[in-house]
Amino acid sequence: MSPQGKIRRKIKFLKAGLVHGQTSLTNLELGLLYQQVKEYDKAEVSFKKVIDAMPSNIYPRFLLMRLYEANGEQAKLNALAKELMQTGDTKVSTALKLEFQKIIFENLENTTSNLQEESLANAG
């Protein structure tokens, strides 16, 4: 069985388990699996369910931020990263805050480069 087939089989198994009750762990795993098969909308829904169920847990927000990064959703990524950086929650460690800053600055650099390339293309 191909790696994609194995992932889809895991997704089917986990979704069947959700019939008996949603758990944050199951939704977290589903989100990660959906991300691997590039079903970003479903991954986002799964991660948001975990966030709703466990609002004080920072990990699903971090995974959601990484999802936005992988999917190229810069506005959502920047908004979530800024929200997490501004939180007074002691669970957001300095290392995570630095990671969030790094992601924001990388995306700003990419956006600036893209705008410069577009300006040059339009001028020429």
14: three-class secondary structure by DSSP = helix
Q: Report the b/e string of 62-73 with b at 16+ CB within 10 A.
A: bbbbbbbbebeb
- Position 115 scores a pLDDT of 53
Q: Which residue has the tokens 């691997």?
A: 36
The amino acid present at 82, given as its one-letter code, is K
pTM of the model: 0.69
- Position 35 scores a pLDDT of 93
Residue 35's CB: how many other CB atoms inside 10 A?
Answer: 21
Q: Which residue has the tokens 């700003």?
A: 108
- Position 90 scores a pLDDT of 62
pLDDT tens for each residue of the chain, 124 residues long: 788 888 888 888 888 777 777 788 889 999 999 999 999 999 999 999 999 998 878 889 889 988 998 888 988 988 887 777 776 666 666 666 677 677 666 766 665 555 556 656 666 5
